[in-house]
Chain A
Amino acid sequence: MSDDNKRFALEAKGLAKTFPYGEERLKVLVDADMRVVAGRSISIRGESGCGKTTLLNLLARLDFADTGELYWNGESYDPKLPPGPRDAARRACLIGVVYQAYYLIPEMNVLENVLLAARLAGSMGKDAKQRARELLNRVGVTNRERQLPQKLSGGERQRVAIARALLNRPKVILADEPTGNLDERSAGDVMELLLEACREEDAGLVLVTHNPSFAKATDEALNLVKGELSPA
């Protein structure tokens, strides 16, 4: 692998994706390029239904593309193949995800939810526990590690989800409208936290958002229009 590749936490070239749509195919992504550098953030804006979530799914290897190239931390993946066990194993270590709905496991308390990331990556241990506590402090959910998610507010739940995404020191965080379910004030707080935490943890951030001011706060702002990414 070349040094060129290694420079990016995540790199995608020429991703295209169509979905079957009756007789024809719906062209969602045509030629999407993206380069994510560790510690830096990228925002993606676009109309509803333009393919932002689809793009994140392709980047995370949760779905397959029609064409294109994909590199995680310089490792090459063929985005045209359906995701397999190798993708899953590397995804656990390299990629962190944050979604609009917080997706915490209701049967487990806050700390156990964060630690689930370590269990999935096979790196469960004392260190992981220590780090989970530090991250929970960092995201501002202190002294609540034994509580069940249903007892937390929306903002708090999303903070826990951010801590979970960061636990395995991923190279990239993929965040799909992480503040979509929050009121304005806590949305601002959470967004600030997410940007800061990714910078501190040296993780690249791909942030899908509708909010122009959040987009401005990122290092690079992109628009997804007609299946292609272009600077805002």
Chain B
Amino acid sequence: MKLPWAFYLSWKQLFPTGRGVSFFSILSVFGVALGVNVMIVVVAFMNGFQDKFRTDIIDSQGHARAEMAYGSSGDWKDDMKKLESQPKVQAVAPYLNGHLLLEHFGNRSIPFAMGVDPVRGDTVIPVSEFLAEGSPKILAVEASRITPLPVVDDLQDDVVFLSRQAADKLGAHPAAALLTTDHNSSSNRVGNGIMVLRKLDPFVESGTWKVRFEDDGSYRVTDPYDEEWEDLFFVSEKIENLGEGIPLFEITPGSTPFAKGDLFTIEIFGASVIDVYSPSMLEKAKDDELLPPRQVRVGGIFEVPWQGFHLDALFGTLRFMQEMNGQSGVVHGFNLKFVPEVASDTQALADACMNTRSSLGENWSVVPWFVENAWFFDLLKFEEYLMVLIMVPIGLVAAFAIAIALMTSVLRKTREIGLLVAMGGSRLSIGTVFTMQGFVIGLLGAVLGWGMALLFICYRDSLMSFIVRNIAGEEGGAGVAQFYDFYSLRVPYPWDSADSLQNFLTFGAFAVGVSTLAGFLPAWKAARLNPSEALRSE
């Protein structure tokens, strides 16, 4: 070991022989570690929130919105082709928005209505994901087991999807099914043959459907309209679409075979039918032309994760919206999705929007998502900076504690320092003894802080629910967690993302730098001690 003696001595003072580690070292290292941990975690979570909101916003409106200043003059399909031919554009979805008045058994709602092109499905806006978010919650457990999720294909000109809030207000629901009899899994059979509905479209009527087995492999279905047993179906058979309004049953045999007489009874509740009024009807009413409301069926319930999204909202087909607005062949604009390389980089996205606009023409505007929602992200950024601003002084407090402890140690060890000089120690080495202590504390604190931050990120959900439960109570906890969507936060590890790595390194370096500086002051004092006086001190 040819370590310079100053390194050796500073190490020994932090980790004395026999005692392993000094009390001062433990406290200082922990102090630094806590500071590093908190700073990393706060920034990581702020980034997680931003990331989450970014995804939610992009999901609800695409990467950019292209609109014509005075409405499209020509055919919107031509505009769409032009947009689709743009090199960086991945998908284009036309939209036509407006407000509609809905009525269902005297309940009213005026949702923000969005006309989308069902053929394009969810190439830009993931409507099916929204449906998945919204639907399971309305149904009982038994029902959700067999009722299929609504799909975008269910969206037709006489079908709309409602946001959860709008549906609740109206008391409206999409078609649902409830399994009321299941012989195969009854108490004396204990089988696990499964029956699910492959398709339950909005046009299915309410009523009881029955599936009765002839033997272990074939069954007959009876519909609510005529109580006759229909054709024979086979379990092994691939089910076919029998047309609108007819549910499709799919049977999976379990461990206990089906037997003659086994029966499934399914209660089906048809989709709510709601009345729709539009502002254009009002125009016509002025001309004494009274139109009956348009009747549409509820095809599904959706929920959009983005809190800034309209709470009362409706998705309909583009044509439905055009008809309701009395504007056939017109769209308001297009939601755009760009290729991933462009989408992941704000500058590239801004450039792509500019390019798209200039190739479309002067009267077009192409607005990227972060411009449209700038206020929100500015707010988040501001909050993040504010947090860091508050935390940096806390980190400095830890540094002061280290400096004071080391300073005390210098005072306590004055005679020892004198002796070290008398034994041939240079001022530089004496200074190094104390600077090194600050450095080592910073380094160990940073490493420990990294470890704590990793643990925190790893166990964030259980930690968060623990904290929230203890602060807000069971119910309050559920509310808080739901509001922040905390549990679906993506908080990347440093080996997964450059941003996260930078976050870890920045605060690690900050800790090492600050505690080295904290060691520097006492070190300076120690190095400047006059040895003859130091030896004399009591």
Distance in angstroms between the alpha carbons of A158 and B421 in the assembled complex: 19
A97 contacts chain B at the CB level, 8 A cutoff:
yes
B536 contacts chain A at the CB level, 8 A cutoff:
yes
Inter-subunit contact A119/B426 (CB<8 Å): no
Q: Smallest Cβ distance from A60 to chain B, in angstroms?
A: 6
Question: B423 touches which one: A57, A83, A101, A117 (CB < 8 A)?
Answer: A117
Inter-subunit contact A109/B421 (CB<8 Å): no
Q: Smallest Cβ distance from A171 to chain B, in angstroms?
A: 13
Chain B residues numbered 1-57 whose CB sits less than 8 Å from any CB in chain A: 1-3, 5, 8-9, 12-13, 16-19, 22
B371 contacts chain A at the CB level, 8 A cutoff:
no
Inter-subunit contact B426/A85 (CB<8 Å): yes
A50 contacts chain B at the CB level, 8 A cutoff:
no
Please give, as numbers and ranges, the residues of chain A lying within 8 Å of B18 by CB-CB distance: 109, 146, 148
Distance in angstroms between the alpha carbons of A83 and B18 in the assembled complex: 36
Chain A residues numbered 43-85 whose CB sits less than 8 Å from any CB in chain B: 53-54, 57, 60, 62-63, 83, 85
B424 contacts chain A at the CB level, 8 A cutoff:
yes
Chain A residue at smallest Cβ distance from B428: A85
Inter-subunit contact B425/A120 (CB<8 Å): yes
Please give, as numbers and ranges, the residues of chain B lying within 8 Å of A89 by CB-CB distance: 424, 426
Beyond the given A57-B531, A85-B426, A88-B425, please list 7 additional residue pairs across the A-B interface where CB-CB is below 8 A: A88-B426, A89-B426, A90-B424, A105-B416, A108-B17, A120-B420, A124-B5
Please give, as numbers and ranges, the residues of chain A lying within 8 Å of B360 by CB-CB distance: none
Please give, as numbers and ranges, the residues of chain A lying within 8 Å of B531 by CB-CB distance: 57, 62-63, 83
Chain A residue at smallest Cβ distance from B424: A92
A133 contacts chain B at the CB level, 8 A cutoff:
no
Count A-side interface residues using an 8 Å CB cutoff.
34
Please give, as numbers and ranges, the residues of chain A lying within 8 Å of B416 by CB-CB distance: 103, 105
A187 contacts chain B at the CB level, 8 A cutoff:
no
Given contacts A83-B531, A148-B17, contact A91 B422 (CB under 8 A): yes
Question: B422 touches which one: A62, A108, A119, A148 (CB < 8 A)?
Answer: A62
In the complex, how many residue pairs between chain A and chain B have their CB atoms under 8 Å apart? 83
Chain A residue at smallest Cβ distance from B419: A103
Q: Smallest Cβ distance from A151 to chain B, in angstroms?
A: 10
Inter-subunit contact B9/A116 (CB<8 Å): yes
Chain A residue at smallest Cβ distance from B538: A101
Distance in angstroms between the alpha carbons of A60 and B421 in the assembled complex: 10
A4 contacts chain B at the CB level, 8 A cutoff:
no
Inter-subunit contact B16/A107 (CB<8 Å): yes
B342 contacts chain A at the CB level, 8 A cutoff:
no
Chain A residue at smallest Cβ distance from B22: A107
Inter-subunit contact B17/A107 (CB<8 Å): yes
A214 contacts chain B at the CB level, 8 A cutoff:
no
Inter-subunit contact B17/A112 (CB<8 Å): yes
Inter-subunit contact B9/A63 (CB<8 Å): no
Question: A120 touches which one: B12, B418, B424, B532 (CB < 8 A)?
Answer: B424
Question: A107 touches which one: B5, B13, B421, B536 (CB < 8 A)?
Answer: B13
